[in-house]
Every structure is written in structure tokens, then in C-alpha cells.
Amino acid sequence: MWRKFLRSKLHTVRVTAKNLEYEGSLTLDPRFMIAAGLEPFESIWVYNLENGERFETYVIKGEWGSKEVCLNGAAARKGEVGDRLIVVSYHWLRPEEIERASVRLVYVDNDNNILQEKDLPVKE
């Protein structure tokens, strides 16, 4: 039996731009991607703390050091510049993998500076 667990979380990144005329996705500064262990085109869930919107999309690699968080395509309708987002990825684990699995948490300040990165075990 497979079980779904949180794999990584970017906590409270702020939207820096919107681009409705794009194919879709969320553009992220690669520093955020590396910190959270996200790959280009990986599936993610986005939770908007300002309006309650929740949607699934994928990651597009932005410009290094830009602190960019850009809502693209239809996702541009899900938030505004300045909104705080939680960006998460999940993974499926078999029972024997749960003991060794961990969650990567990345905390960000109001200016999209990474404050803290930590790993927590899935099962304590």
C-alpha cells in the first residue's frame, strides 16, 4: 500500500509578478527550488493565504537571485502581487520507506529572503 506524504514546503513566499499570457505554472527563483528540492516542471500545490485559493500546477525555473514568485497563465487569476503563498510537493511512500523519509521545510520572510531550512522526519 502506498501512502502520500508532504515532501517539501516553501512557507509564505510572496507573489512578485503575474503573467496571464503565459502557458501556465509558477515561476520560482532557483534558490527556492534548490532549498525545497524542487525540479523544473515538477508538480506542486499552491495555497494562497490571502484568499484561500488552492491549486495544482508545476514549477518553472526563474532567474537566479531574483526572489521571483510569478503566477502564470490561469494561475495568475488565483492571486495578486504581494499575496503570501505556501508551495508544497508531495510524494508517495511504501510502508518500508516511511521510517527513513523526511520533510524539507523552507521558511521565507516578507521580502522573500530564506530565513530557515530544516528537515523533519516523517515518522518520529
- Residue 82 CA: distances (Å) to CA of 35, 74, 98, 117: 21, 18, 36, 22
Is residue 89 flagged as an active site residue? no
Are the beta carbons of 32 and 66 closer than 8 angstroms? Answer: no
| Contact of 112 with 27, CB cutoff 8 Å | no
Q: Which of 22, 47, 58, 107 is catalytic?
A: 58
Assess whether 43 carries a catalytic annotation: no
For residues 35 and 13, the answer to whether their CB atoms sit within 8 Å is no
101 marked ligand binding residue: no
SS (H, E, C) 1-15: CCEEEEEEEEEEEEC
73 annotated ligand binder: yes
User: What single-letter DSSP state applies at residue 32?
Assistant: H
> Which amino acids are annotated catalytic?
25, 58
Annotated binding site: 57, 73-75
Residue ranges of the annotated binding site for substrate are: 57, 73-75
